[in-house]
């Protein structure tokens, strides 16, 4: 045979057992020493949760919020992008034409008459946020969402806006590290701006 194989099976060798290993006692003593060292170190890594809150990273995907623009109106333009993108089917929007005769709404065509998110059905994937062309919907770092009934976990527009008010007040604005360029409808992104996103969102209109 021309193709002579020189490489064969290589067996691993067990390390030799020393007398001290066979005596067990040194290993036991060192194990005990480790246990005692940790026991007396007095530096627990436990966080006393309700009293000490964890530091949630700003790009955490928690409860949603609906952003407001500068005039305090809901920023959402009721384009249904988020509802279409949502894999869990938990967003429900009913759009309505913006009241043209109201001076407050005269520069807008459409707005969400109702906007509900079933927070129990949501899988917090962030697709809605990615889909939104005007950055109107965002996932905040609010993580301790609880409720006594299923009904109260279905957030309507007012509730979502109030989440926005609260998070802005406490300075817990979400930051997405990988947001990329915003759509043309968003007033935050000057057209054609490329490159890395700003570290924080700064203003929220």
Residues that bind ligand SF4 (CB under 6 A): 76-82, 85-88, 90-91, 93, 117, 122-128, 131-132, 134, 136-137
Please identify, using beta-carbon distances, which residue of 77 and 142 lies nearer to ligand SF4.
Answer: 77
Please identify, using beta-carbon distances, which residue of 28 and 99 lies nearer to ligand SF4.
Answer: 99
Which listed option, ligand SF4, another protein, none, makes contact with residue 34 (CB within 5 to 8 Å by class)? Answer: another protein
* Secondary structure of 35-75 in HEC code, one letter for each residue: HHHHHHHCCCCCCCCCCCCCCCCCCCCCCEEECECCCCCEC
Q: Does 16 bind another protein (CB under 8 A)?
A: yes
Q: Does 5 bind another protein (CB under 8 A)?
A: yes
Q: According to CB under 8 A, which one of 1, 148, 149, 195 is a site residue for another protein? A: 1
CB of 56 to another protein, least distance (A): 22
**What b-and-e string marks burial along 136-174, b requiring 16 or more CB atoms within 10 Å of the CB?**
bbbbbbbeeeeeeeeeebbbebebbbebbeebbeeebbb
Q: How far is CA 37 from CA 33, 45, 51, 132, 143, in A?
A: 6, 15, 28, 54, 36
* Secondary structure of 81-110 in HEC code, one letter for each residue: HHHHHCCCCCEEEEEEECCCCCHHHCCCCE
Tell me how far apart the 2 most distant CA atoms of the chain are, in Å.
94
Please identify, using beta-carbon distances, which residue of 46 and 146 lies nearer to another protein.
Answer: 46
CB of 148 to ligand SF4, least distance (A): 21
Which DSSP category does 149 fall into?
S
Which listed option, ligand SF4, another protein, none, makes contact with residue 22 (CB within 5 to 8 Å by class)? Answer: another protein
CB of 47 to another protein, least distance (A): 9
Q: Decide if 74 contacts 112 (C-beta within 8 A).
A: yes
CB of 54 to another protein, least distance (A): 15
CA angle 137, 143, 148 (to 5 degrees): 100
Please identify, using beta-carbon distances, which residue of 8 and 146 lies nearer to another protein.
Answer: 8
Please identify, using beta-carbon distances, which residue of 51 and 101 lies nearer to another protein.
Answer: 51
Contact set with another protein (CB under 8 A) = 1, 4-6, 8-11, 13-14, 16-25, 28, 31-32, 34-36, 38-41, 43-46, 48
């Amino acid at each position: 045979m021309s193709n002579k194989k020189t490489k064969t099976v290589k067996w691993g060798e067990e390390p030799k057992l020393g007398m001290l290993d066979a005596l067990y006692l040194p290993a036991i003593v060192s194990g005990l020493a480790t246990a005692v060292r940790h026991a007396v170190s007095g530096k627990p890594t436990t966080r006393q949760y309700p009293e000490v809150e964890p530091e949630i990273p700003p790009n955490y995907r928690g409860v949603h919020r609906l952003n407001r623009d500068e005039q305090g109106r809901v920023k959402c333009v009721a384009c249904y992008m988020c509802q279409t993108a949502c894999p869990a089917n938990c967003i429900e929007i009913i759009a309505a034409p913006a009241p043209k005769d109201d001076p407050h709404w005269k520069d807008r065509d459409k707005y969400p008459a109702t906007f509900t998110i079933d927070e129990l059905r949501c899988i917090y994937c962030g697709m809605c946020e990615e889909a939104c062309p005007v950055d109107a919907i965002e996932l905040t770092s609010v993580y301790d969402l609880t409720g006594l009934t299923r009904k109260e976990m279905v957030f309507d527009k007012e509730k979502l806006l109030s989440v926005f008010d609260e998070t802005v007040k406490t300075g817990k604005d979400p930051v997405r590290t990988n947001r990329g360029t915003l759509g043309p409808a968003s007033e935050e992104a000057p057209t054609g701006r490329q490159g890395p996103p700003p570290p924080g969102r700064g203003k929220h209109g």
